[in-house]
Structure 1
């Protein structure tokens, strides 16, 4: 499975699971039911996955309704708690299955993983420092004579103090004493250097060297052109998202990496400009700041389903 197909499958499973959770929570009003019907009609893959989720829910929904009503009417708090957990399996089991089926086994068995919105830092046995950004996974092979990090998904940053190799689906990154980031994208793999220099060995094309303040996208076809960036500007490693006159659509797509659930917005908002420094650990506050500074409104349909619409002018 290619990286792009993998990401598409994961996103589809994520959406199906969220629709299923909304339905089981009784939150599908007429508008949302119509939106679900539209989602199912997008493609045969959408409908097939939904049918699979429905089938699984029925399979796990083993608590008879009369028993559920009788138990819930009793005043025993512990009994209610246990029944609530049992009823929850009717939704949680299909959701877990969907995630399991859509994620390759290597993701589940990764040595280190982070969930959506989570960041993690560790020190490797050779003294190098490794940081995982949101929704990332790596395998480690750190032993005498071999120091390798295999990036399976997402984005990592490394401060290497000894010869170190990062293996990606597009090639290898080699560094001795350098600080750099490697991020998987639909188009390939983006390598950015903040200190020192690194060597790249793409699967296609010749080797090249990156200096501090340079980055490049390597793909199955060939390496892209070298680009400059401000290596001193703080970023996700410091828990920050800093933008200057960025289109709101691009900003929200980046924010969506760090926020569990669905974030949707009216296409009319795409080209609004965003400037500022935002704390990644509080995405609700980021949305509130957007509403305070731009002509838009934030609607929380649930904790994990947020919609942004143009602000209505009130005469």
Structure 2
């Protein structure tokens, strides 16, 4: 293996850390910008990120656990690649000690009762008749008769149900609601029915059409935004006058790798209906709707730039 192909452990550790941070903060535009800056610093950063995504593809999993947990998980799944080949893919020769160095807590999606990988959705029918639909990259636990949203986004509907999210407890009555964990707050959107939102600071009733953002310190009424919060349950991404940078951050939740844009086109506005099961077609359509070009540096690193 040449020096150009060999990756320092410190860079691989950082790439894995980025993977974990993105998984815990899906949809964070600021985090995506920080990742882009790190990738642009050094070609070795790009190589480490690409190989991390390649590892997930080779093992036919949509999300890659931390290196220290990947080996036993894949062995139990009877993956046909050996530990040596897996580490060779990363371009480093790990000892037992360095494998321990890379190990971190297993991501929530691998420990939850119900979970989805990137680009996947999953429907769960509960004993009480309630229905739950998990969106991409989400994790949900059962806690007695209640649900605990650990990460991502879910749609819940039924006669009566109870969901705990990061900053609030929600009780629905004949309600259909989307709950999403965002960077620093929990978002609650009601399509029908009544929902009681409880926090240590107080309670609030929500009705059809209401939206609420709940953080550690406040409850904020959310107006209608550029993104339809219920369209994903129909397999669609429906946007109205959304910034291109924000659209790409949302679309990036449904595909592997990094998706971003040049600052020169970040504030362009976009409206339309896009199919979530066709992410590559979604990207091609952008170039027909806006004066931009989609540049694929690799399959896992896509950048939208101004038309030359």
**CA deviation digits over 1:19-72, x for unaligned, max 9?**
xxxxxxxxxxxxxx99352886xxxxx9xxxxxxxxx89xx9xxxxxxxxxxxx
1:134 aligned to which of 126, 136, 139: 136
Alpha-carbon contact 1:241-1:277 (below 8 Å) kept: yes
What's the counterpart of residue 168 of structure 2? 171
Q: Is the aligned partner of 1:287 residue 2:292?
A: no
**1:190 Cα offset (Å):** 0.4
Give the alignment of 1:103-182 within 5 angstroms. Answer: 104=106, 106-141=108-143, 146-161=144-159, 163-182=160-179
**Is the CA contact (8 Å cut-off) linking 1:198 and 1:210 kept in structure 2?**
yes
Distance 1:294 1:232 in 2: 21
What is the aligned residue count?
244
Residue deviations 1:69-94 (CA, integer Å, cap 9, x gap): xxxxxxxxxxxxx8899534423698
- Report the Cα distance in structure 2 between the residues aligned to 1:217 and 1:39, rounded to whole angstroms: 39
SS at structure 2 position matched to 1:207: strand
Shift in Å, 1:281: 1.0
The aligned counterpart of 2:190 is 193
Give the whole-Å Cα distance in 1 for the aligned partners of 2:247 and 2:153: 17
- Structure scoring higher RCO (CA < 8 A, sep ≥ 6) equals 2
RMSD (Å) for aligned C-alpha atoms = 3.6
**Matching residue of 1:245:** 241
| TM-score between both structures, scaled by the size of structure 2 | 0.69
After superposition, residues 269-284 of structure 1 pair within 5 angstroms as 269-284=265-280
Q: 1:253 to 1:90 in 2, by over 3 A?
A: same
Q: 1:177 to 1:285 in 2, by over 3 A?
A: same
Instruction: Give the Å deviation of 1:227.
Output: 3.2
Deviations 1:254-280 (A, max 9, x none): 111111101131110111111110001
Q: Distance in 2 between matches of 1:186 and 1:166?
A: 19
Question: Tell me, what secondary structure is at the counterpart of 1:189?
Answer: strand
Once the two structures are superposed, the pairs formed by residues 193-232 of structure 1 within 5 Å of their partners are 193-203=190-200, 205-225=201-221, 227=223
Q: For residue 226 of structure 1, report the CA deviation from its aligned partner.
A: 5.0
Aligned partner of 2:181 in structure 1 is 184
Check conservation: 1:194, 1:231, Cα contact below 8 A.
no
**In the aligned structure 2, how far is the partner of 1:227 from the partner of 1:93?**
48
Q: CA deviation at 1:102?
A: 5.1
The yes-or-no answer on 1:35 pairing with 2:33 is: no
Give the 3 Å change call, closer, same or farther, for CA 88–235 of structure 1 in structure 2: same
TM-score (norm 1): 0.67
Is contact 2:119-2:254 (8 Å) kept?
A: yes
Please list every run of 5 or more consecutive structure 1 residues that lacks an aligned counterpart in the other structure.
1-7, 17-32, 41-45, 47-55, 61-81
Gaps of 5+ in 2: 1-13, 23-37, 50-66, 72-79
| SS of alignment partner, residue 160 of structure 1 | strand
CA distance, structure 2, for counterparts of residue 170 and residue 15 of structure 1: 19
**For the structure 1 residues 294 and 224, does the alpha-carbon distance in structure 2 shift closer, same or farther, using more than 3 Å as the test?**
same
Q: Is the 8 A contact 1:247 1:270 kept in 2?
A: yes
Contact 1:213 1:229 in 2 (8 A): no
